[in-house]
Amino acid sequence: MKIIPRHITVRIIDIISVIKLQGPLSHVKKKRNIWKGYLTGVGFSGVGSLFSELILMPFFLFMPSRVMCNTAGDNNNPELLDSLRIDKVEVSAYGNSAGDPLCSVIIDTSIIKSSKSFTLGEMLQRSSSVNIKNYGRGATQQATFRGTSATHTTVYWNGIEINSPITGAVDFSLIPMYMVDQVSVEAGVSADNHGIGSLGGTITLQSKPDWNEKPFGVTLAGGYGSFHSADGYLEIKAGGEKVRSNTRIYANRSRNDFEFVNRDVFDPEKPGWHPVQKNLNADYSNFGFMQEIWAKPAENQTLSAIVWGTGNIRNLPQLTSWEGEQNSNLTSSRDRALRATVDYKYYSERIDFSISAGGSLEDNLFEKNNKTATGYNKYIDTRGFSKSGQIEGDITWKIDDRFKLSSITKGLYCSASSRDLLYGEGYDKGRGEFSEILSLSADWTPIVNTTIMGRCGMVGDTWYLLPTLGVNLKAGEASTFSIRGDMDVHFPTLSDLYYIPGGNKDLQMEKSATAEIGYTYRKNDLRVIATAYYSHINDWILWLPTAQQYWTASNVRSVNAFGLEITAGKVWKLGDWKIDVDGNLTINSTRAEDSYSKRPVSTDQLPYVPPVSYSIFLDVSWKKLSLIYQGYGESAKYASMAASSSKNEIIYGYYLQDITLGYNFPFVTVEGVCRNILDCQYYGILRRPMAPRSFEIRARFHF
């Protein structure tokens, strides 16, 4: 008799399932685990909770023998009509009982579904521990973890890294949630699964085909809202069980001409007076497409090819501190990108293998025109072009039910060209990278799991060798403690080294050491994750202003970061009612302890790092009616790293609240959205106005 050991412990209910007694429990589907990784194997078997097993097991074991014979599908066997005999079974496998301590947290699908009209940055800000540095509505959005910078966050799209070779970061305002099926977040040590350089963490975007969908389907969505804003989205799905195609097209635009009280302009003769201004020259438009082809040559193989193109045109408004004519200068930017990836995956009982290749092209334009007596003269005309290519091979060998060995081999080449066309200054540089990641996961006992990882490779002509260690200790059926530690490095971006003016060819790579301790609790529909961390970073790269009126890159000798992250969620189902609550709380301190430069540097919190941030997601649905509440808040933060920060260099804390009311008709879903419902006036970046209360009406058709 063949016995298949279960993920955590093999109970007698699993044995019954193996010998094909298709009773009621065999049809219980495994609930989607939105906390994949941190909660892997924390007390549930594949057929239901412990509660289900204890209650239903006696009934299942002692149900009438005729019922058991019928479900077994052998009514002609007289022996089975009387009793059921099985051989003695002895099981010694542990089956990865304690889970993997290095893992990712997948954003709840209900949050992704309710955030389709948001950008990726807006969704992450409201639904995760990621902090978003937001330059204004329609402007740049950059993600940071644990007080690190945007270049310390690595973003992967279907296996390839999409950080700009020029800036080293990703603009999340250019990624609409329409184009994303799954988002996972890995903070700190858990980001080591992908490579080096993610001192803060990684964000992974995945496209996911649904092989059970109907042969042809169309989704058409659109909305119109405040500030003359409109967007549209078209998705066409086609195919069968072996080949599927998915085509997505989107576009949005906004005049973005909201009114705001400019508190950076005042009149000494009118105490408390501030002018009401319009956010002029701030319009933007985004557009893009994605074409996905998926194939299943066999049940254990998948092949995919995906192309993604994006475009953006936006004008940048004046700073709120500007008191001259609004049209005295006009600033605009244009961004275009084309990305492509192909991927092959093979699965078997012992070996999983995948190989992928991809690349990206990016084109950037930045212009500034100053008004003169004869018209506008071009003052800045900067163009940038970058390209990158990557190939990666992954293999996982399940040595037995207790040990798993993984290898990731990656090669990457990127180049960047940036030039000021007016003055002829710029650079054209390239750099290659190679890395190898070896990891061994082991279940030593049903309650102890370890992962040992070694990362080595070369960036340019510099080699590195870095260790990582993770340990999971399972405490009871619902609780798991984790201990993790690593060493990491981050190399300067091409702009850090070569940008004119301000680049610094003498920059040292950043070096970090991190320790974490985590706790995970999951029982029924309650999930709690808490992580405390400490990081020490040497040679932190920071851009600071100079006396020559431009900024330059330099190393800060030492930075210490420590903090606490808590994520919790609960789902209630009461008849036709469903209530889903998720919350995040982040407390961190990131301070520069010393500086190589002669300029004094503040030892307070680093710029644009709020010591406290928090978010709340509430989804209440009744039959076809839904109400979604999303809130995000953060404490005050500094906008400067000067040794003595004035009141004018502090951005005060705020709390934003959005609400969405929707109804599902047979072929269309209609939603009304109110953002910033209390009309909070706030700043994300110093002297960049943020949008007041706004409204949208949205509709999504399904065919």
Residue range 189-216: mean pLDDT, rounded: 91
Rg (CA), the chain: 27
384 Cβ contact list (under 8 Å, min separation 6): 166, 362, 363, 364, 365, 366, 416, 417, 418, 419
| Residue 308 structure tokens | 């993604």
66 Cβ contact list (under 8 Å, min separation 6): 81
393 Cβ contact list (under 8 Å, min separation 6): 353, 354, 355, 408, 409, 410
Report the pLDDT value the prediction gives residue 585, as an integer from 0 to 100. 95
Report the pLDDT value the prediction gives residue 98, as an integer from 0 to 100. 56
pLDDT at 6 over 80: no
496 Cβ contact list (under 8 Å, min separation 6): 168, 503, 504, 507, 541, 553
Beta bridge partners of 425: 420
User: In angstroms, how far is CA 462 from the centroid of its own chain?
Assistant: 29
Report the pLDDT value the prediction gives residue 267, as an integer from 0 to 100. 82
pLDDT tens for each residue of 140-156: 899 999 888 899 999 99
Quickly count: other Cβ atoms within 10 Å of residue 208's Cβ.
12
CA distances from 244 to 158, 177, 238, 291, 685 (A): 17, 21, 6, 11, 43
Quickly count: other Cβ atoms within 10 Å of residue 177's Cβ.
23
Asked whether 688 and 135 are in contact (CB, 8 A), the reply is yes
581 Cβ contact list (under 8 Å, min separation 6): 569, 570, 571, 616, 617, 618, 619
Beta bridge partners of 231: 223, 252
Report the pLDDT value the prediction gives residue 250, as an integer from 0 to 100. 96
Q: State the pLDDT confidence band at 72, using cuts at 50, 70 and 90.
A: very low
Distance CA 180, CA 310 (A): 13
Report the pLDDT value the prediction gives residue 601, as an integer from 0 to 100. 53
What's the sign of the alpha-carbon dihedral 153, 154, 157, 161? positive
Q: Which of 257-271, 509-523, 581-595, 632-646 has the highest mean pLDDT?
A: 509-523
Q: Which has more pLDDT, 653 or 73?
A: 653
pLDDT at 194 over 80: yes
Q: State the pLDDT confidence band at 265, using cuts at 50, 70 and 90.
A: confident
Comparing C-alpha atoms, which of 557, 529, 474 is closest to residue 187? 529
Query: How much is the mean pLDDT over the chain?
Result: 83
Q: State the pLDDT confidence band at 657, using cuts at 50, 70 and 90.
A: very high
Beta strands in 524-647 (DSSP E): 526-545, 551-574, 577-594, 612-622, 625-634, 637-638
pLDDT tens for each residue of 534-572: 999 999 988 876 666 667 888 888 899 999 999 999 999
Beta strands in 191-328 (DSSP E): 201-206, 216-225, 229-239, 243-254, 259-261, 276-278, 284-298, 301-316
How many percent of the chain have pLDDT more than 70? 83
Q: For 252-261, 430-439, 593-602, which range has the lowest pLDDT when averaged over its residues?
A: 593-602
pLDDT tens for each residue of 357-408: 999 999 999 998 888 878 888 888 999 999 999 999 999 999 998 999 999 9
Q: State the pLDDT confidence band at 212, using cuts at 50, 70 and 90.
A: confident
Comparing C-alpha atoms, which of 358, 433, 388 is closest to residue 160? 358
pLDDT at 64 over 50: no
How many percent of the chain have pLDDT more than 90? 56
Residue with structure tokens 């029982």? 523
Residue with structure tokens 């092959």? 344
Decide: residue 83, CB within 10 A, 0-12 exposed, 13-18 middle, 19+ buried: exposed
pLDDT tens for each residue of 77-101: 433 334 444 444 444 333 444 567 7
Q: How far apart are the first and last CA of the chain?
A: 48
Q: Which amino acid is at 333?
A: S
Q: State the pLDDT confidence band at 113, using cuts at 50, 70 and 90.
A: confident
Distance CA 6, CA 97 (A): 9
Enter the pTM of the model: 0.82
Comparing C-alpha atoms, which of 449, 521, 436, 439 is closest to residue 478? 521
Quickly count: other Cβ atoms within 10 Å of residue 248's Cβ.
20
pLDDT at 415 over 60: yes
Comparing C-alpha atoms, which of 101, 103, 41 is closest to residue 470? 101
Report the pLDDT value the prediction gives residue 545, as an integer from 0 to 100. 67
Report the pLDDT value the prediction gives residue 423, as an integer from 0 to 100. 83
pLDDT at 700 over 50: yes
Asked whether 187 and 129 are in contact (CB, 8 A), the reply is yes
Report the pLDDT value the prediction gives residue 298, as an integer from 0 to 100. 93
Q: Which has more pLDDT, 263 or 479?
A: 479
Report the pLDDT value the prediction gives residue 300, as an integer from 0 to 100. 94
Q: Which has more pLDDT, 596 or 655?
A: 655
User: In angstroms, how far is CA 604 from the centroid of its own chain?
Assistant: 28
| Residue 501 structure tokens | 């003016």
Q: Which has more pLDDT, 378 or 66?
A: 378
CA distances from 673 to 137, 223, 681 (A): 16, 10, 19
Quickly count: other Cβ atoms within 10 Å of residue 343's Cβ.
19
Beta strands in 317-401 (DSSP E): 329-347, 351-372, 375-398
Residue with structure tokens 């260790």? 467
Distance CA 610, CA 625 (A): 36
pLDDT tens for each residue of 473-490: 999 889 999 999 999 999
Q: Which amino acid is at 533?
A: Y
249 Cβ contact list (under 8 Å, min separation 6): 233, 234, 235, 288, 289
What's the sign of the alpha-carbon dihedral 119, 124, 126, 132? negative
pLDDT tens for each residue of 603-634: 578 888 899 999 999 999 999 999 999 999 99
Residue range 650-657: mean pLDDT, rounded: 91
User: In angstroms, how far is CA 61 from the centroid of its own chain?
Assistant: 45
| Residue 133 structure tokens | 């540095």
